[in-house]
């Protein structure tokens, strides 16, 4: 008797799509079509290309990670609601932005500043909930679940604030409107929701919420800076773009950059968790306490040992306070290393997550650097000028390129890779903020 074996082929990618998948795709296409019909006349060919590419990219993201669908629909609905409320209050140019202080829904919820303040509150609440859950004995506590939901809420409010701020900028005067990624205030909002969203993906991917307590610490630090910057400098006010920023390159260069910054920060917090779980007390004392203490001493030595301009002295004092806070935080971490590492995932999970975060960030940071070179050629006539920001961006790129090379070619693992990833956050922070404080150049748009 002859037995015939028939191998069934795998169903095609399209055939596996559910009605919900196609409904989401249809809504995205309808939204993109509406944007083309309503605003197409105001777009140049590059902006139309970005919008055309964004639609299939959003569909693919929603199919790949289902929670993004609901997030997209809710952000779109809330943003359109805010815009509709604004348009009911008009002035000579368009929507009356004074409505943000008069209309209840805008004043307390959906104006850009209100939404971003809600984002800030939800970030702090999420961090607190994660830490409460971290010190419970159950594997997945109610507090950690709440922390995750609050983090989603923070992302939602940040995106609503970003979209509404984009609309508000177009209502001030002709040629003022721009995507809100042009100054430190706006990019800190971008950093907050991007880092949180990337973490939430890895949280679901690795099925652990224990790292939320660590990751939301760095997000909360960014939000703390954002609030300080708002109060001290009135940074939330929408300002016209300088000529060099009036380019479609900004729409893709800056977000790509901040995917890199966000994932590098995430990997550093995972590295801190790894070290608290594995490193010897002596190594932790030298690395986590000795290094920041030496930095504080160096900053103070420069501060008091040289004749410096008043603004530089103020900047150094600020950095000394910030590094002093980091020193106190790391000292507490070393002192409480056992309870802080008791519920962390397995070392293999931490190591894999650290690698995946750096690999993703490096890919986007590389793309951003290439796009930045094209933008520089258009704005200043040359692809590379060794501007301080460009130089430090290259240092960041080389740092993570070397990390990935050593991992893939030499099998770098364990404590050494974690120390390197943690040090990388210091390098990245200086490239992001330190250059703006201490160095000047063509990229001095977001001064402190």
Distance from first CA to last CA of the chain, Å, rounded? 83
DSSP state of 345: P
Closest of 231, 228, 299, 264 to residue 431, by C-alpha: 264
CB 157, CB 115: distance < 8 Å:
yes
| Structure-token pair, residue 82 | 């805010």
Delimiting residues of CATH 1.20.120 domain(s) in the chain: 67-241
| Cβ neighbours for 115, distance < 8 A, ≥ 6 positions apart | 109, 157, 158, 160, 161, 164
DSSP state of 434: I
Out of 3.40.50, 1.10.3470, 1.20.120, 3.30.43, select the CATH number for domain 67-241: 1.20.120
Q: Is 17 helix (H, G, I), strand (E, B) or coil?
A: coil
Model confidence pLDDT, tens digit, residues 213-256: 999 999 999 999 899 888 877 788 888 888 777 788 888 899 99
Q: How many CB atoms lie within 10 A of CB 362?
A: 20
C-alpha pair distances (Å), 13 with each of 23, 54, 59, 64, 69: 16, 20, 14, 12, 19
Q: Is the dihedral of CA 46, 51, 52, 53 positive or negative?
A: positive
CA pair distance 188, 129, nearest whole angstrom = 22
CA pair distance 342, 133, nearest whole angstrom = 12
Residue 45: predicted pLDDT: 84
Model confidence pLDDT, tens digit, residues 134-157: 888 776 788 999 999 999 999 999
| 386 dihedral zone (left: phi>0; alpha: psi -120 to 50; beta) | left
| Cβ neighbours for 400, distance < 8 A, ≥ 6 positions apart | 264, 358, 361, 362, 365, 424
Q: What residues in the chain have per-residue pLDDT under 50?
A: 1-7
Residue 339 CB-half CA count within 13 A: 11
Residue 6: predicted pLDDT: 46
């Amino acid at each position: 008797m002859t037995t015939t074996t028939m191998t069934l082929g795998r169903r095609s990618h399209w055939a596996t799509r559910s009605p919900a998948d196609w409904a989401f795709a249809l809504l995205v296409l309808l939204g993109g079509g509406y944007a083309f019909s309503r605003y197409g006349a105001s777009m140049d060919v590059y902006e139309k290309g970005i919008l055309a590419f964004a639609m299939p990219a959003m569909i693919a993201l929603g199919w790949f990670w289902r929670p993004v669908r609901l997030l997209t629909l809710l952000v779109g609905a809330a943003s359109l609601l805010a815009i509709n409320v604004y348009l009911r209050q008009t002035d000579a140019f368009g929507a009356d932005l004074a409505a943000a202080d008069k209309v209840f829904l805008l004043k307390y919820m959906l104006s850009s500043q209100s939404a971003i303040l809600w984002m800030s509150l939800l970030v702090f609440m999420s961090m607190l909930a994660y830490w409460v859950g971290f010190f419970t004995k159950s594997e997945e506590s109610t507090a950690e679940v709440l922390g995750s939901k609050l983090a989603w809420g923070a992302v939602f409010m940040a995106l609503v604030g970003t979209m509404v701020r984009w609309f508000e900028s177009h209502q001030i005067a002709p040629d003022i409107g721009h995507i809100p990624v042009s100054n430190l205030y706006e990019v800190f909002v971008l950093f907050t929701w991007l880092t949180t969203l990337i973490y939430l993906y890895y949280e679901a991917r690795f099925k652990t919420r224990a790292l939320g307590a660590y990751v939301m610490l760095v997000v909360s630090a960014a939000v703390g800076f954002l609030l300080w910057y708002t109060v001290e400098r009135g940074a939330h006010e929408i300002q016209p773009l300088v000529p060099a920023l009036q380019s479609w390159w900004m729409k893709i260069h800056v977000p790509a950059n901040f995917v890199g910054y966000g994932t590098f920060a995430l990997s550093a917090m995972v590295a801190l968790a790894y070290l608290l779980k594995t490193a010897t007390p002596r190594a932790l004392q030298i690395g986590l306490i000795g290094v920041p203490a030496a930095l504080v001493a160096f900053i103070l030595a420069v501060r008091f040992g040289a004749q410096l301009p008043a603004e530089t002295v103020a900047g150094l004092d600020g950095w000394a306070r910030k590094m002093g806070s980091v020193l106190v935080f790391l000292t507490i971490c070393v002192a409480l290393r056992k309870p802080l590492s008791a519920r962390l995932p397995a070392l293999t999970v931490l190591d894999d997550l650290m690698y995946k975060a750096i690999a993703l960030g490096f890919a986007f940071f590389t793309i951003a650097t290439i796009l930045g070179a094209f933008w520089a050629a258009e704005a200043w006539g040359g692809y590379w000028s060794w501007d301080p920001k460009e130089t430090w961006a290259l240092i960041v790129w080389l740092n993570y390129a070397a990390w990935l090379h050593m991992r893939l070619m030499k099998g770098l693992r364990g404590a050494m890779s974690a120390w390197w990833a943690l040090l990388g956050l210091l390098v990245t922070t200086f490239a992001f903020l330190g250059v703006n404080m201490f160095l000047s150049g063509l990229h001095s748009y977001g001064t402190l």
